[in-house]
Amino acid sequence: MKIAIAVENGQVCGHFGHSPSFSFYEVEDGKIISSENIQSPGAGHGVLPDFIASKGAKVVIAGGMGAGAVNGCNARGIQVITGVAGNPDDAALLFAKGELVSSGSVCSHHGAHHGEGHSCSHHGTCSH
């Protein structure tokens, strides 16, 4: 299965829509088979779900994601996992092993608070 992880500065990006690149992983039987990092084609919940889908990914992982992007991904058959931080390779491996669970964090640009220490600033970035 192919998964995509939003990446910024070598870490899982806090906000899907602002991610400068995405790492795509092929995972199988609890292992990472291959990976590549590709620069983001732009920002926004219209462009990025199409980009992720065009690369064959069935899952996208990010720190947080706006409702428009979640809906765009879901409409393309892409599962969304949010609330993830840290090294993208580690996140991909946890997913491959079936140990990565979404927090369900959806970001708004209006300072929403999501509980469990997850909140979004007025700049649309997520923090834990």
Q: With contact defined as beta carbons under 8 Å apart, do 15 and 64 qualify?
A: yes
Q: How many domains does the chain have?
A: 1
In tens, the pLDDT along 57-92 reads 999 999 999 999 999 999 999 999 999 999 999 999
42 by DSSP, 3-state: which?
A: coil
51 by DSSP, 3-state: which?
A: helix
pLDDT > 80? residue 93: yes
The two structure tokens encoding residue 36: 């590549």
Mark 51-63 as b/e (b = at least 16 C-beta within 10 Å): bbbeeebebbbbb
Q: How confident is the model at residue 103 (pLDDT cuts 50, 70, 90)?
A: confident
Q: What is the pTM of this model?
A: 0.81
Closest CA to 67 of 82, 52, 89: 82
- The pLDDT value recorded for residue 127 is 36
- The pLDDT value recorded for residue 44 is 65
Helix (H) or strand (E) holding 33: strand 31-39
Q: How confident is the model at residue 105 (pLDDT cuts 50, 70, 90)?
A: low
Token pair 């790492």 is found at 23
| Mean pLDDT value across residues 28-47 | 89
**% of the chain beyond a pLDDT of 90:** 70
pLDDT > 60? residue 121: no
pLDDT > 80? residue 120: no
CATH, residue 69: 3.30.420.130
Percent of residues in the chain assigned helix, strand, coil, to nearest 5? 25, 30, 45
Distance, CA of 75 to CA of 95 (rounded, Å):
21
Distance, CA of 53 to CA of 77 (rounded, Å):
8
Supply the range of the domain harboring residue 98.
2-127
